[in-house]
A and B are shown apart, each in its own frame.
Chain A
Amino acid sequence: MPGTGFRSQFSRRGFVRGAAALGASAVGVSAFAGCGSDGTGESSSSDDGGSDVGSGVRGGELELPTYQRAEVVVPDLPGSAEGVPEGYFSYPRPAEPAAGGPPGSGGVVTAMLGAVGPVPPNVGQNPWWQGLNERLGVDLQVNMTPVADYGARLNTVIAGGDLPDLVQIFGVARLPDVMEAEFEDLTEYLAGDGVLDYPFLANLPTVGWQATVFNSKIYAVPPQNTVKTVSWLTRLDLIDELGANPQPGDADEFFDFCLDVTDAAANRYASAAPAEVLNRVARAMFDAPWQWGVDDDGAFVHMYETEEYRAALEYTARLWDAGVFHPDSFGSVNLLEFFKGGTTVLHNQGGNGYRAILDENIPGLRMGIFTPPMADGGGPARAELGTGTYRITAIRKQDSQERVRELLELLNYLAAPFGSEEYLYLQYGDENVHYTWDEDLQAPVRTEQDGELIPVRFLAGAPQVFFDPGHAEFSKAMHEHHSEAIPGGVQDDSARLYSETNDRQASSLFQPLNGLRNDIVQGRNTLDDWDKAIEDWRASGGDQIREEFEIAHAEFDV
């Protein structure tokens, strides 16, 4: 039963987190199907589940914010409604301002977010931040916590009743309840055409907004991520040098590829991330669902339960046994450094994080993109897709509607799209300070001063684009890769559903499985142990989660 007939459409009506499983009040939700690119918000969805389209609004009558592309510049490579990012070969010069004046009217706005990498200097020693405050017309105070600690900090702040105005939300349990208790319901401001008051928020593809809905209300704005969350980069230079096949066509060829590029004596391995290879390559090759999949009858199955995943697990264990993974893979290793240094040949990188590798211009490094094939050689495997958001940003309950509007204006400013003068400042800073202009590339090039920029894009940001000055060919390749992968991709069908059991017990239920999975890959346990663990998992909560997802799913997507 498992693994067959999973719907693979990604933009469709009704994937909305609800409280059905919570037994809370009437939920009736309907989000519009996907992303109209015609500016009406009503979709001409490119679903393969065509019969779903057209039933429009239902039940509680929630309209997702209307999509209206902000016409700032014309892209060199077109985006798509399903989430293929636009591509650009140069930055407009001079970049024209696209927002009106400062969105704020004085006063203090506080915010907290989870930051990656070094924390920028504080506002007193940070001209960029001072400039940002001037542009925003407020004193923006941002508390940045390392991503790994953010959940703990946010929980503490919530418990202490000390939330700032703008809060990046992740790592909190019982989100629907938390949202209702602590944050502004933004539905009346943003639903339907309401969002058109904030043109840069209206410029965010509809798919991302679905992640901001709880109990059929909009509670947040969605900073953008690529819908195809992860891409597999390869070291083409090494692959060519070793005479390996850069695009294996089936499971056996991938196995050979891994063997061909591995040379332990030279400290070179196919990968140092066996769990990722298992979940994102082998799982796709054997066509198991991505996390939770739903079949046409509304029955949910987790990828771990499927025969297909079992086959992928067995396959990955054979890969491990063949020695193609870095022997310290299960320790703490720096995957990116391994890839850049040629210790590994395959590397999966989220969003457009590949850009950081290109920007380093490492001598000799030539990157390719690998598309996992179907195990039996039947063309490319179906890629796993995300929600199109990089977490979400909510607004703490405020004293007045004016204040909420002002904060939305501010978020709108932060979401100024590629090509605008605002985007240039938010992403690159001031010319000749944080970046210099490169005439040949027709692009800004960051200077060392750019450590002053604070990652406000985690609060709100423009849709992702492919823009790789000096590497236009790679932009094209990436654009093509996304264009091919997204239409047939598979999504976690539970991504927008809420199950209380999942919320409370997911980590305790899945952690033993993940541990066992790693042990099986390393040959310490067998697939029989896996079968037994799956039985336990079902009995101790897996089936309960399934049931709750099925109920929630039935509510919204009959």
Chain B
Amino acid sequence: MLRPISRWDRFKRDRFLLLLGLPGIILVLLFQYVPLLGNVIAFKDYQPYLGIMESPWVGLENFAILFNGDPAFVNALSNTLIISFVQIAFVFPIPIALALLMNSLLSERIKRTVQSILYLPHFMSWVIVVALFQHMLGNAGLYNTWARQHDFFQMNIIGDPDLFIALITSQVIWKDAGWGTIIFLAAISRVDLELFESVAVDGGGRMRQLWHVTLPAIRPVIILLLILKLGDVLTVGFEQIFLQQGPAGLQASEVLDTYVYNRGIVGGNWGTSAAVGLVKGLVGTILVLGANKVAHLFGERGIYSSAKDSR
């Protein structure tokens, strides 16, 4: 008769594997979990010269800014949410479409060339990307200078607060859409070719293959990435926005990350920064967990499933 394996037996059985994992665990503990303790300054009036231990406790005072309706905070929050949802709606689907398009390219050589070209912008830092955009589209940029000299139609794109969201969204697409295709391409490449053949045998064309084979096959990946994206809903990129706040003005461009920086780090209000950061993290976690639950309800795997679910 099989006796149940005790915890100790399992430990003994897996000891070498655990040993292999040890450096990684130590690394994560040391550089991820230990610094988390620093979040305690969200409840303190932290002053660097006093240190974390010596700084006085202030309870929830630092969190007041979240609830007292400070117009600047509300503005930053609403900008963040708007930008986030615009990006989920417009940026998220693009790598999927691109991956499907690339997958339909027959020549391996062309495919590889296209991939390289599309990946390239990902490796440029935001400073370079923003500078490129400014030099091309800025009011004294390549286009507008030419337009001015030739009495042509001028476009005030950079510096128009109404176009700010469109501007940064298109920058994100330009920079990262190609890079985002990698995971989808990997998922598509794992689709069983026989399935495509079956559709073909049944008289289905390319659209039918796409709809009944490819998309269902990469659906778990899409949902996984969407859930992770939801966790980032309060984070819309610091550098990119910070670099472009000047021309657009704070009303249109202040987001939570820049707000934390401008108010907290620049102004020395470390506690407030930590409080906002902490709440951001919490909201992100709740969203990921919640979205995962919803995914389970719809019968998807989500990003993880508990031992109970997977049984």
Contact = CB atoms under 8 A, between A and B. Distances in A.
Interface string B257-272: 0000011011111000
B148 A524 contact: no
25 contacts: A152-B265, A159-B51, A173-B47, A173-B268, A177-B49, A265-B148, A267-B140, A327-B138, A327-B140, A328-B140, A328-B159, A330-B247, A331-B134, A332-B131, A332-B246, A506-B267, A507-B262, A507-B263, A507-B267, A508-B262, A508-B267, A511-B250, A512-B250, A518-B249, A522-B159
B49 A178 contact: yes
A328 B249 contact: no
B39 interface: no
Interface string A481-516: 000000000000000000000011111100110010
A158 interface: yes
B48 A327 contact: no
B49 A174 contact: yes
Contacts of A181: 49-50
A328 B47 contact: no
Given A515-B251, A524-B249, 5 more contacts: A330-B246, A331-B246, A332-B131, A507-B266, A511-B250
Pairs of residues from A and B, 4 with the lowest C-beta to C-beta distance, nearest first: A327-B139, A173-B268, A507-B267, A515-B250
B243 interface: yes
Contacts of A152: 265
Nearest to B244: A331
B310 interface: no
Interface residues of A, number: 35
Contact of B47 (A156, A177, A511): A177
B66 to A, nearest CB: 15
A155 B131 CA distance: 30
B306 interface: no
A501 to B, nearest CB: 12
Interface of B: 47-52, 72, 131, 134, 138-141, 144-145, 148-149, 156, 158-159, 161, 243-244, 246-247, 249-251, 262-263, 265-269
A504 B158 contact: no
A332 B243 contact: yes
A158 B141 CA distance: 43
Contacts of A331: 134, 138, 158-159, 244, 246-247
A290 to B, nearest CB: 22
A328 B247 contact: yes
A515 B249 contact: yes
B92 to A, nearest CB: 29
Interface string A56-90: 00000000000000000000000000000000000
Given A328-B139, A328-B159, A264 B47 contact: no
Nearest to A154: B48
Interface in A21-66: none
Nearest to A182: B49
A107 interface: no
A267 B246 CA distance: 21
Contacts of B158: 328, 331
Nearest to A178: B49
A157 B265 CA distance: 15
Interface string A328-361: 1011100000000000000000000000000000
B12 to A, nearest CB: 42
B8 to A, nearest CB: 42
Contacts of B156: 327
A161 interface: yes
A235 B267 CA distance: 37
Contacts of B72: 508, 512
Contacts of B244: 331
Interface in A253-310: 264-265, 267
Contact of B262 (A172, A264, A330, A511): A511
Contacts of A177: 47, 49
Contacts of A506: 267
Nearest to A510: B267
A547 interface: no
Which of A172, A327, A330, A503 has the most chain B CB atoms inside 10 A of its CB?
A327
A505 B247 contact: no
Contacts of A267: 140, 145
A179 to B, nearest CB: 9
A505 B262 CA distance: 11
A96 to B, nearest CB: 43
B268 to A, nearest CB: 3
A272 to B, nearest CB: 9
B47 A174 contact: yes
A92 B249 CA distance: 52
A72 B243 CA distance: 48
Contacts of A515: 249-251
Nearest to A275: B246
Contacts of B51: 159, 161
